[in-house]
Amino acid sequence: MITRDDIRELANFHSAEGCAITFYYQPSTPLNKSHRDQAILVKDLIRNALREAEKHGKNGRTRADLERINEIVGPANGNGGKAKAIFACSAKGFWREFDIPGQLLKPKVAISQRFHLKPLAAVLDGEQRAYILLADRTKARVFELVNDDIAEKEDFINELTRRGKSDGYSGYDAGHAERKAMNEALQHFKLVAENIEQYFERGGRDRLLIGCRDDVWSEIEPQLQSLARQRLVGHFRIDPKIATPEQVKQMARDHLSQYHAGVKQNLIHEAIGEAHRNGRGAIGLRRVLRSLEVGEVLTLLLGSNFQAAGVKCYHCGHMDLHVAPECAVCGKQNTELEDIGDAIVGHAIRTGVELIYVADDEEFDRIGRIAALLRFRADQNTAEKAAS
Ligand SMILES: [Zn+2]
């Protein structure tokens, strides 16, 4: 599984000779008829890349990399239906392979100074992680969700001492028994809330979801402490005693998807609103590129289907949507890019800009599938606001 550190390493990799190979491949299962077509298509891509490499006098190592990649693509390699990404530059002794969940990749072979990370960074943004608590008045179960995998944690099942029938002779002191049960439930929820808080204090970065019966939610909710409240996505209705991990996973994934979609919607509205009143927002490729170059961008919103031709100057780093042979800033030679999105993503990762991918969204399409929230506006001298 790819991590943020992996992505950062890839983004920082630079081959001045232009020998960095990016390879994306989506194998289908051998049973699938389209499988052979896929493999043939990819082999064609590789053959073209080999020809290009020779034409541009790339060294034998680049050819060796491409041939090694060619070996990996074959009918014998279904890769469990998972997509594959390979980043290679044997001139610098660099080779990284990643399996990627989901069905998102068009096959791609690119050879340039930087790796093309747009599809890969989207995987990371789409990651679903949650810490899930199921609770009733006597019991708590904890699950951890990472994408498609859910695991129940065995070390945190808290069942209070069972109240036997001998407790408070039936009818004789029913009020007392009831008060005792409520008290015990309260203690139980406090203990559970403490456990959750400790998990986040230890550095858990997941979202929090709570599954319980509706009437129990009003008892749990007030006990939650500050980190838990920050992490809380919401609660859902479930019977904690009989819920299966599969049911929990379904509920959690639905809630997380809704939550993330809501967060993204808010970010889009904020960026558009801020841009329209000349505040801390930028929309459209031209404006966002300028903001990226002056270091204004806090959060970059990029459409999953964004694509635009452009150029990049590898001498000074300038990116431009006007395709010109020479850099508008330093006058040195530009490199033409089929998709400037890859250069933008690389730049964002290297400079610590938060990257958010937006799937199909009409409003976002209308503004050019790219927008940003800014830390400050260089032209308004509002740098001091960055701290707020
Ligand atoms: Zn330049």
Buried b (16+ CB within 10 A) or exposed e, 125-163: ebebebbbbbbbbbebbbbbbeeeebebeeeeeeeeeee
Ligand 1 centroid to Cα of residue 290, in Å, is 14
Q: How far is the CA of 329 from the centre of ligand 1 (A)?
A: 5
Rounded to the nearest angstrom, the distance between the alpha carbon of 346 and the centre of ligand 1 is 17
Span 102-108, average pLDDT: 72
294 CA to centre of ligand 1 in angstroms: 14
pLDDT confidence band for 105 (50 / 70 / 90)? low
**C-alpha 117 – ligand 1 centre gap (Å):** 22
Q: Could you tell me the distance, in angstroms and rounded to a whole number, from the CA of residue 327 to the centre of ligand 1? A: 5
pLDDT at 292: 96
**Res 278: pLDDT:** 93
Reply yes or no on whether the pLDDT at 378 is more than 90: no
Q: How far, in Å, from the CA of 331 to the mean position of ligand 1?
A: 6
Residue 99 has pLDDT above 90, yes or no: no
The answer on pLDDT for 168 being more than 70 is no
Ligand 1 centroid to Cα of residue 102, in Å, is 37
Ligand 1 center–CA 317 separation, angstroms: 6
Q: What is the pLDDT of residue 189?
A: 93
HEC readout, 98-159? EEECCCCCCCEEEEECCCCCHHHHHHHHCCCEEEEEEECCCCEEEEEEECCEEEEECCCCCC
Residue 30 clears pLDDT 60, i.e. is over it? no
Compute, in angstroms, the gap from residue 94 CA to the centroid of ligand 1. Answer: 27
**Mean residue pLDDT across the chain:** 87
Residue type, 197: E
CA dist 207 and 129 (Å) reads 6
Alpha helices in the chain (DSSP H): 4-12, 34-55, 60-72, 118-125, 174-201, 214-220, 226-231, 245-276, 285-293, 340-350, 362-366
User: What's the CA-to-centroid distance between 334 and ligand 1, angstroms?
Assistant: 7
**Model pLDDT, residue 107:** 86
The tens digit of pLDDT for each residue in 280-294 reads 999 999 999 999 999
Centre of ligand 1 to C-alpha 337, Å, is: 15
Q: How far is the CA of 17 from the centre of ligand 1 (A)?
A: 17
How far, in Å, from the CA of 101 to the mean position of ligand 1?
A: 37
What separation in Å is there between the alpha carbon of 333 and the centre of ligand 1?
7
Distance 113 CA to ligand 1 centre (A): 15
Which of 52-66, 85-99, 358-372 is the least confident region? 52-66
Within 10 Å of residue 194's Cβ, how many Cβ atoms?
Answer: 13
Mean pLDDT of 340-350: 95
**The two three-digit tokens of residue 205, written as one number:** 């970065």
Does the pLDDT at position 365 exceed 70? yes
- pLDDT: is 379 or 23 the higher one? 23
- CA 259 to centroid of ligand 1, rounded, Å: 41
Q: What is the mean pLDDT of residues 35-55?
A: 81
- Report d(CA 221, CA 296) in Å as an integer: 39
Predicted pLDDT at 283 = 97
96-100, 140-144, 154-158, 358-362: least confident range: 154-158
Residue 351 CA, ligand 1 centroid: distance in Å: 18
Instruction: Give the Å distance between the CA of 312 and the centre of ligand 1.
Output: 8
Flag whether pLDDT at 382 surpasses 80.
Answer: no
Q: What is the pLDDT of residues 304-315, one digit of tens each?
A: 889 999 999 999
What pLDDT is recorded for position 161?
43
Distance 287 CA to ligand 1 centre (A): 18
CA of residue 319 to ligand 1 center, whole Å: 8
The pLDDT, as a whole number, for residue 387 is 46
Q: How confident is the model at residue 36 (pLDDT cuts 50, 70, 90)?
A: low
Q: What is the dihedral of CA 321, 322, 325, 326, to 10 degrees?
A: -80
The Å distance, Cα 114 to ligand 1 centre, comes to 16
Task: Please give all residues whose CB falls under 5 A of ion ligand 1, grouped by chain where several chains appear.
Answer: 313, 315-316, 318, 327, 329-330
Distance CA 356, CA 125 (A): 6
Q: What is the DSSP letter of 234?
A: E
- Residue 249: other Cβ atoms inside 10 A: 19
- Model confidence pLDDT, tens digit, residues 141-155: 999 999 889 999 865
Confidence of residue 52 (pLDDT cuts 50, 70, 90): confident
Does 38 have pLDDT greater than 80? no
78: left (phi over 0), alpha (psi -120 to 50) or beta: alpha
pLDDT at 279 > cutoff 60: yes
Average pLDDT over residues 374-388: 68
Q: Does residue 26 surpass a pLDDT of 90?
A: no
Q: Are 375 and 297 a contacting pair, CB within 8 Å?
A: yes
Output the CA 332–ligand 1 centroid distance in Å. 6
pLDDT reported for residue 131: 95
Q: Ligand 1: distance of its center to the CA of 57 in Å?
A: 24
The whole-number pLDDT of residue 181 equals 82
Rounded distance from Cα 324 to ligand 1 centre (Å): 11
The pLDDT of residue 157 = 55
Indicate whether 332 pLDDT > 60.
yes
- 95 three-class SS: strand
